Structure 1
Amino acid sequence: MKYALLFALMLLANLAWAEEPPANASALGAGLVNPGYEEKPAWFKESFLDIREDIKEATAANKRAILYFYQDGCPYCTKLLKDNFGKQDIADKTQKNFDVISINMWGDRSVTDFDGKETTEKAFATDLKVQYTPTMLFLDEGGKVVLRVNGYYAPDKFELALDYSAGKHDKEGSFKDYYAKLKAEGKVASKDQTYALPGSLPAPLRLQDVRKDDKRPLMVVFAQQDCDTCDELFNDIFKRKELAYSLSNLDVVVVNPDDTSDIQTPDGKDMKIAEWAKALNIQYSPSLVFFDADGKETFRTEAYLKAFHTHGAMDYVISGAYQWQPEFQRYLQHRREVLAEHGFPADLME
């Protein structure tokens, strides 16, 4: 009798679902709720995920395509959808100039990739080295990635990214060049600000020479002067006790990607800092770029990150986890779950 009653209650619950599914229901099948699901704007393209066909259709409409990689429960994706696309001018500009195709970083839907190969969302994300959500790939008419936005950009910087691609300024140079031109023309606010971290390697920056007997990983922080997100990183996040512990396990250098001073790179090349930043394709400030003892880049962050993700990136390298877990998001997911089991639930946006 007890089991019959339980079955009847479950049946009623499923019938209630069929009549009125919850607002946050993801397309996982009848009766299933995907925690953290966020509804995409109605004007996002309903795509069959044939990427070549999507590019053709966008071109025919005098638009470009954007691949938007997300995951449910991602606070930065929520911030993008609400803070950026929640602004009518940004939503209107995006809808006018782009077809936005959403792709679940861990999804199993079928995708036809740039070469016409059948794959899945998660395999496609892996092939494109998607490590963050949101990640937005701006494509030109030939399917080339003209701008890669790894992680969340604040509305003002995100709107510049839209203008860069919609105006086809990629034909004139990189996004960094475009940003520098706007700054020189006084169209982007600028302030005189430099950043430093205690324990940083001293000048002159001869990074191979000074580290030749050093086995610690190197973290190079590229931080421009006119950078509100750099203010938050240096004046808040890096000053937290738990991050200071991790910083003690790294060699650290802070440089301005526009600086024309000399530097010896971790792999022994002599050049200007600005030339090195360009060679590394530094497009975002602040960017954290990590190198191993041999001067080889192992990992980087190049987006707006709060303390949990910044700390996670540092420990991802310090622990050597990048060598056995190539997906940073998997590493963070495990870290979050274990912390919760120890009674320390993580606030991802603190």
Structure 2
Amino acid sequence: MSWLLPAIGLLSISIACHAAEGDSKLGAGLVNPGYHEKPDWFKQSFLDLQEDVEAAAGEGKRLLLYFHQDGCPYCAKLLRVVLRINGYYPPHLFETALDYVASHLEQKQSFKHYLADVAPVPSSGTLHQEESYLKYPLDLRSKTRDTDKPLLVLIEQKQCVACDELHDSILSDKAVRKSLKGFDIALVDAWSKKKLTTPDGQQVPATEWVDALNLYYFPAMVFFNGQGDEVFRTEAFLKTFHTHAAIDYVLQEKYRTQPSFQRYVRERAEHLETQGIKVELMK
């Protein structure tokens, strides 16, 4: 990956959620809890982003913004293992994303198609359709589903290791499956040309709907309320705790009172720990 870095200037921006709310204390040496040392080649900036963009352009580079939060396990793994697009990407996918941006390929093809072309990895090669999922032809309108349940659309592809892991290791978890009973679930092939009816009533090929949703990473989970409005989505690599949190965030309609999913996750973890339940963020 190192040969890509000269083509991209990387700027780190901290999301100081904990400190802003005054619920964390500085540790020895006045260091925030969970602080992660950034590589010394990150740009030191006054956060005048227009100036940073111009400076990068003057050196033939592009500017990459890295948003992080102290205490975030995904941020720590990102710094230790790879260097996030929208969520944590495994190393081979992150390198592919850097290549896409550094080579100015966005004018030639979408990242979704570029990723499929250059980053195939061994996988089961099948979609994980379950008996309880909605059947084709898919009609995702709430009035045709005869329930008042929210809708979870799993958008996946056949050659997808992360999709395999999602079903084999995460959605198969007993507690997660219990929460999933509160949803109507549809599995959509990101590349399928079969037509479906979207929650807002459009009849389009599945792959065109996926493009319209601006999804680039699979598996993605897109949640809709009982009225057919999208209320939340995940489109990055998440382990069991965060996946379950996303499901309950929608199922319990916590997004209505807590618009910040990050804060909801932290509050959920703290609540579990007060009950003596150990929270494993990366399992």
* Structure 2 counterpart of 1:304, one-letter code: F
The Cα shift of 1:180 comes to: 3.4
Map residues 98-137 of structure 1 onto 2, 5 A cutoff.
136=84
Q: Give the aligned partner of residue 67 of structure 2.
A: 69
1:162 paired to 2:160: no
Structure 2: distance between partners of 1:49 and 1:345:
38
Per-residue CA deviations over 1:99-153 (Å, capped at 9, x if unaligned) read xxxxxxxxxxxxxxxxxxxxxxxxxxxxxxxxxxxxx4xxxxxxxxxxxx21100
Query: Which residue of the other structure, out of 243, 247, 270, is the alignment partner of 2:176?
Result: 243
Whether 1:176 aligns to 2:112 is yes
| Residues 179-328 of structure 1: pairs in structure 2 closer than 5 A | 179-182=115-118, 188-189=120-121, 192-208=125-141, 211=144, 213-328=146-261
Shift of the alpha carbon at 1:345? 2.1
Deviation at 1:296, TM superposition (A): 1.0
| Aligned AA (2:51) | E
Tell me, what secondary structure is at the counterpart of 2:141? helix
Measure the CA separation in 2 of the matches of 1:176 and 1:289: 17
Instruction: Please state how far the C-alpha of 1:253 moved relative to its aligned partner.
Output: 0.7
Distance 1:160 1:31, change over 3 A: closer
Counterparts of 1:325 and 1:239, CA distance in 2: 27
Give aligned-pair identity as a percent.
Answer: 46
Instruction: Give the deviation of 1:195 after TM superposition.
Output: 1.4
Q: Would the aligned equivalents of 2:139 and 2:197 in 1 still touch at CA under 8 Å?
A: yes
CA RMSD of aligned residues (A): 1.7
Shift of 1:189: 3.9
2:204 is paired with a residue of what secondary structure?
A: strand
Cα displacement string for residues 295-326 of structure 1 (whole angstroms, at most 9, x for unaligned residues): 11110000000000000000000111111211
1:57 match: secondary structure: helix
* TM-score, normalised with respect to structure 2: 0.86
State the 1:181 CA deviation.
Answer: 3.8
Distance 1:30 1:50 in 2: 31
1 CA distance for matches of 2:222 and 2:32? 34
2:142–2:148 CA contact under 8 A, matched in 1: no
- Flag structure 2 segments of 5+ consecutive residues without an equivalent: 1-25
Distance verdict in 2 for CA 1:339–1:209, change over 3 Å: closer
Residues 287 and 301, structure 1, Cα contact 8 Å, conserved in 2: yes
Superposition TM-score, scaled by structure 1 size: 0.70
Partner of 1:43: 41
Report how far residue 29 of structure 1 moved: 9.9
Amino acid at match of 2:120: V
Q: Which residue of 1 aligns with 2:274?
A: 341
Q: Deviations over 1:219-241 (max 9, x none)?
A: 00111111111111000101110
Give the conservation status (yes or no) of the 8 Å contact 1:218–1:252.
Answer: yes
Matching residue of 1:60: 58
SS of corresponding position for 2:171: helix
The answer as to whether partners of 1:257 and 1:282 remain within 8 angstroms in 2 is: no
Alpha carbons 1:152, 1:304 under 8 Å: kept: yes
Shift of 1:198: 4.4
> Structure 1 residues 211, 70: closer, same or farther in 2, change over 3 A?
farther
Deviation at 1:268, TM superposition (A): 1.1
AA of the residue aligned to 1:340:
E
- Whole-angstrom distance in 1 between the partners of 2:142 and 2:49: 47
Secondary structure of the structure 1 residue equivalent to 2:216: coil
Amino acid at match of 1:338: H
For the pair 1:152 / 2:88, whether they are aligned, the reply is: yes
Q: Say which structure, 1 or 2, has more relative contact order (CA 8 Å, 6+ apart).
A: 2
> Which whole-Å CA distance do the structure 2 matches of 1:40 and 1:62 have between them?
23
Which has the greater radius of gyration? Answer: 1
- Structure 1 gaps of 5+ residues are 1-27, 86-135, 137-148
